[in-house]
Amino acid sequence: MVSLRPGDATRSEHECSAKRCRAEAAYALLWRNPRIHGETRRKVWLACEEHREQLTGFLSVRGFPLEVVPVSGIPADAG
């Protein structure tokens, strides 16, 4: 039997990846570093509305391939 602790209901399943942000993420950033990740590898960062720009900017200045999708659209093999 599974018993739920009170805190579990409020904890977000998709929490923003930005430092010190605990907001619910609206977007998933799929990216890879071509120097260390293979062609098919995808890393996932989650971003709330507020931090989407900051996180995409961080990756794009490094020239990493990047795709932004809704959190509901995260591929099963990404991570």
Contacts with Zn ion by CB under 5 A lie at 16, 18, 21, 23, 48, 51
Q: Where are the beta strands (DSSP E) in 3-79?
A: 27-31, 43-47, 66-70
Closest to Zn ion by CB, 20 vs 35, is: 20
Please, what is the minimum distance in Å from the beta carbon of residue 78 to Zn ion?
19
What three-state secondary structure class fits 37? coil
Please, what is the minimum distance in Å from the beta carbon of residue 39 to Zn ion?
29
Closest to Zn ion by CB, 14 vs 32, is: 14
CA-based torsion, 45, 50, 56, 59: positive or negative: negative
